[in-house]
Homo-oligomer: A and B are copies of this chain.
Amino acid sequence: MEPQGFRYRQVEKQIMALIDAEAIRPGDKLPSLRKLSSQLGVSIATVSQAYLELEKKGVLASRERSGFFLAPRALQMPAPASRPRPAMVPTVGTRSHLIQQVLEALGNKQLLPFGVACPAEELLPAKTLARLLNSSLRNNPARALDYAPVAGDPELRQQIALRSLEAGISVTPAEILITSGAMEGLSIALRALTKPGDNVLIQSPSYFCFLQLLENCGLRAIEIPSSTSGIDPRDVQRAIERFQISAAILVPNFNNPDGSLTGDAKKGEIVALLAAHKVPLVEDDVYGELYFGEQHPGSCKSFDNSADVIYCSSFSKTIAPGFRVGWMIPGRHYAKALELKTTTNICTAAPTQMAIAAFLRDGYFERHLRRLRSAIHNQMEALLLSLHRHFPAETRASFPDGGASVWVELPTGIDAVDLFFRAREMGIGLAPGAIFSTQEKYDNFIRLSCTGIWNQAMEEGIERLGALVRQMN
């Protein structure tokens, strides 16, 4: 971690705000290091680092002995605004076959990783985890080899209880149930709360595995919009007044794919509305730790007075997706969830639980998260700049305050499923918008992930993808 980590970041943001407000225009010279340093009350080194970072991302250009200039085109891409509202009717069905093909492409390491929604392995703590796995097995073979308790490793639950305070959740280890990733928590939650034929409230767009899960459970989706400012409580109200709804699955923090953040005040309103209508809420918070701001966003669970919010999260986006360690806080549905966990797979693997417990206990997590958030934030800015350089001018993209992906609206008429297959041929991974809804609302959208360190191959990949989009336009 750079010593002045957060300060240069703030300076970067202040400069970006000036660019946004068009106070600086392409070609303009930026203030000298000395001048900006005294204006902002930070060191010259901090300003210098901010300038250098912005230069790396292509926002600024430097000319010898003349200082920094705003590069000809900068980060100025409008957010997807024209997105159509989903029809508020119960809908079934996903594009299962397409989803399987997307999933296979996501697993294909030969493709540029714009399809994958979790951090690249060079950002993950492989050596520390190898050591912790090894020592878990050597120091405590009984605990690592035998079945873990159905509810999960006690030390891991302890560590998660401590960590939950970050999301405003006060919980005891006994209220936590370890799952093999957050997806398992969602699957258990839905099976605990619904029966086939029931309606479930979801955001639109939503993570495609939610839609598959609903289909596999015989459930119908009621889709409400997920705008740049997250979920609107009025949409929730309209939906629960109009339909008999058995549960809601929402992602208030950095919804996949659009990255939208539902503010904490709105979270409180939504929880109160759902509670008044006795609709249990399943909250998926897998991206909550990947915030770019100063503060951990809150959670719906923290507003839960009736123990009717089932909170689900995991370490898949932060420590290691392949470890399959997540957790749920099922509130008053705990006993049912525990029984369903038993018949799902008895318990989650013990060694990976122990290694992650040790990772948290020994203080690696917070340091690792600081690095990871900064890397993903940088990567996202680099991706957006690259899109700006290479994609048609009508392209719109979200610039979320966290998460790991950007939601891109291509010019109308471009078929993103077609683009997915053509891009795959060219060695480029991406997720087509069609799989994120049961309705045909996102046919010209794609999700692009920012999960690795930006490099020349990625820059060229976006350039080729942009050329393809122009050609299809």
Residues of A within 8 A of B (CB): 96, 99-100, 103-104, 106-107, 109, 118, 121, 124, 126-127, 129-131, 133-134, 137-138, 141-150, 179-181, 183-184, 187, 191, 195-196, 209, 212-213, 216, 218, 316, 320-325, 335, 338-340, 342-352
Contacts and interface: CB of A to CB of B under 8 A. Distances in A.
Given A126-B137, A138-B127, A196-B195, A323 B345 contact: no
Given A146-B121, A322-B145, A133 B126 contact: no
Contacts of A180: 180, 324, 345, 348-349
A183 B146 contact: no
A440 to B, nearest CB: 21
Main secondary structure of the interface of A (DSSP, over half): helix
A323 B96 CA distance: 30
28 contacts: A100-B338, A100-B339, A104-B149, A124-B145, A129-B137, A129-B145, A130-B134, A133-B133, A145-B320, A145-B321, A146-B321, A146-B322, A180-B348, A181-B345, A181-B346, A183-B343, A184-B344, A184-B345, A187-B345, A195-B218, A209-B346, A212-B342, A216-B343, A322-B347, A323-B349, A324-B350, A349-B349, A349-B352
A324 to B, nearest CB: 4
Contacts of A213: 343
A174 B270 CA distance: 45
A142 to B, nearest CB: 5
A185 to B, nearest CB: 9
Contacts of A147: 106-107, 118, 316, 321-322
A122 to B, nearest CB: 9
A103 B150 contact: yes
Contacts of A103: 150, 342
Given A130-B134, A133-B133, A324-B349, 7 more contacts: A121-B141, A131-B134, A133-B137, A147-B321, A180-B349, A184-B344, A351-B351
Nearest to A195: B196
